[in-house]
Amino acid sequence: MTARPRLTVVGTGYLGATHAVCMAELGYDVLGLDVDTAKVEALAAGTVPFFEPGLPELLRKNLDSGRLRFTTSYEQVGAFGDVHFVCVGTPQKKGENAADLRYVDAAVASLAPHLRPGALVVGKSTVPAGTAARLASELSLTAPEAELAWNPEFLREGFAVEDTLRPDRLVFGVRSVRAEALLRAAYEPVIDLPTPVVVTDFATAELVKVAANAFLATKISFINAMAEVCEVTGGDVTKLSEALSYDDRIGGRFLHAGLGFGGGCLPKDIRAFMARAGELGVDQALTFLREVDAINLRRRARMVDLAREELNGSFHGSRVAVLGAAFKPNSDDTRDSPALDVAAALHRQGATVTVYDPAAMANARRLRPELAYADSTLHAARDADLVLHLTEWQEFRQLDPAVLGSVVAHRRVLDGRNALDPQRWRDAGWTYRALGRP
């Protein structure tokens, strides 16, 4: 085996497309596969089907270099690759907390008959503990000379290129020295940065991702629980968070109170973690995650309550501008978006709601077609009785409250992300309120 194995990436959604592009950027020959012909054609034409800063430029650069190609053929992928990364989604099952593994199962089953002897299949998808061991057993029946490894991803939407090219760690779940060697060859430029490598068993590799997400979700919900206490005591959660952040044992990251977390990872991953713990008979170990989830959802309800209070107890006949639709800035992902959930709740209760987001408008329209949408902040806020800041895009943080005030019907703003400067807005004549602040 040469130092540069040929790589394939099965699944070209958010994780897969990013991984394929970035591995090509690191100098590898990469072939990406998806069963969605339209997605493959778009990527092959240099179009990224989602918003991720820096990725479109790298896609076009590596298509032009010839290092990156896309296909719908498992046969072609099997013949091409030495190391095959499986990057398909594991969404939450409808009506359940458990992860839906049908796409992972289908990807490995479809790939197996076409693998060359000695090929390494590497799972990157977030899966319940025990999945890799099961897939390894199934793979051995169809492709006995191939091997499985697990290499969880830790991408942050909006920073995915940086997280792939310069990760804070690599985790290799392997069963042989050869599998570890192949993974090290597949990540050689990254390891040489240097990047810490944790070599472990399948179960630990699977648990690292869900444990990390559970910890981050817990930290976010903790400070939001403190925001609930601040609201009844008159405390200021932003000052509380600042004071806590100076404690080296706690730190300030993910200790920012607001509307809570959403997206396609944290909510469904902590629910799947709880479901798997129940299947394994250790559900009591993760019962605290139920409250983490509940605190997170209560913040959305509290924002609706605050909006109702500002509108004198009723939404009927009121116009509300919602700034933000993506679950976080620098993303067009609206899955489990707190901003859209709040907007939809206001609409159901009688408000006329107009939404604007710098990147997520198309996804928001598909998910919530009942809402009105605008092509700019000023358009969304025109004649509004109340403005809600729900996704902390830099564009919104830098708004001139005087300019915005010139188009609204009433200068009332609710800051769902504690990201605006209260004094600046109050000086411009706005009534400013936020979660967890006086």
Q: What is the CATH number of the domain that holds 52?
A: 3.40.50.720
Average pLDDT over the chain, rounded to an integer: 97
Q: Does residue 99 sit in the same domain as residue 240?
A: no
Q: Does residue 177 sit in the same domain as residue 252?
A: no
Q: For residue 263, what pLDDT band results from cuts at 50, 70 and 90?
A: very high
pLDDT tens-digit series, residues 89-146: 999 999 999 999 999 999 999 999 999 999 999 999 999 999 999 999 999 999 999 9
Residue 2 in any domain: the answer is no
What percentage of the chain has pLDDT greater than the value 90?
99
Residue 126 in any domain: the answer is yes
CB 173 within 8 A of CB 201: yes
pLDDT at 438 (0 to 100):
87
Sequence-distant (6+) residues with CB within 8 A of 243 are: none
Per-residue pLDDT averaged across 58-79, rounded? 98
Q: Does residue 354 sit in the same domain as residue 272?
A: yes
Domain-ending residue, one of 183, 200, 217: 200
Domain holding 177, by residue range, is 7-200
Residue 352 in any domain: the answer is yes
Residue 195 in any domain: the answer is yes
Rounded CA-CA distance 397/285 in Å is 40
Q: Does residue 94 sit in the same domain as residue 107?
A: yes
pLDDT tens-digit series, residues 310-330: 999 999 999 999 999 999 999
Residue 1 in any domain: the answer is no
Q: Does residue 159 sit in the same domain as residue 216?
A: no
To the nearest 5 percent, what fractions of the chain are helix, strand and coil? 45, 15, 40
Q: Kind of pairing, strands 30-33 and 68-71?
A: parallel
Sequence-distant (6+) residues with CB within 8 A of 283 are: 274, 277
Q: Does residue 64 sit in the same domain as residue 196?
A: yes
Q: Does residue 184 sit in the same domain as residue 215?
A: no
Choose the catalytic residue: 22, 87, 230, 265.
265
Q: Does residue 329 sit in the same domain as residue 394?
A: yes
pLDDT tens-digit series, residues 334-373: 999 999 999 999 999 999 999 999 999 999 999 999 999 9
Name residue 150's beta-bridge partners. 123, 173
Per-residue pLDDT averaged across 264-276, rounded? 95
pLDDT tens-digit series, residues 387-425: 999 999 999 999 999 999 999 999 999 999 999 999 999
Q: Output the DSSP codes for 178-236.
A: HHHHHHHHHTHHHHTTT--EEEE-HHHHHHHHHHHHHHHHHHHHHHHHHHHHHHHHT--
Q: Does residue 160 sit in the same domain as residue 267?
A: no
Q: At residue 1, does pLDDT exceed 80? A: no
Q: Does residue 250 sit in the same domain as residue 137?
A: no
Domain-ending residue, one of 160, 178, 200: 200
| Six token digits for residue 395 | 């564009």
Residue 207 in any domain: the answer is yes
Rounded CA-CA distance 33/45 in Å is 14
Q: Is 230 a catalytic residue?
A: no
Give all strands (DSSP E) within 74-176, no chain letters.
83-86, 120-123, 147-150, 170-173
Quote the number of domains for the chain. Answer: 2
What percentage of the chain has pLDDT greater than the value 70?
99
Q: Does residue 229 sit in the same domain as residue 303?
A: yes
Domain-ending residue, one of 167, 200, 233: 200
Rounded CA-CA distance 20/10 in Å is 9
Per-residue pLDDT averaged across 43-59, rounded? 97
Rounded CA-CA distance 8/268 in Å is 27
Q: Does residue 138 sit in the same domain as residue 229?
A: no
Sequence-distant (6+) residues with CB within 8 A of 253 are: none
Residue 180 in any domain: the answer is yes
Q: At residue 269, does pLDDT exceed 80? A: yes
Residue 19 in any domain: the answer is yes
| Six token digits for residue 23 | 């591995």
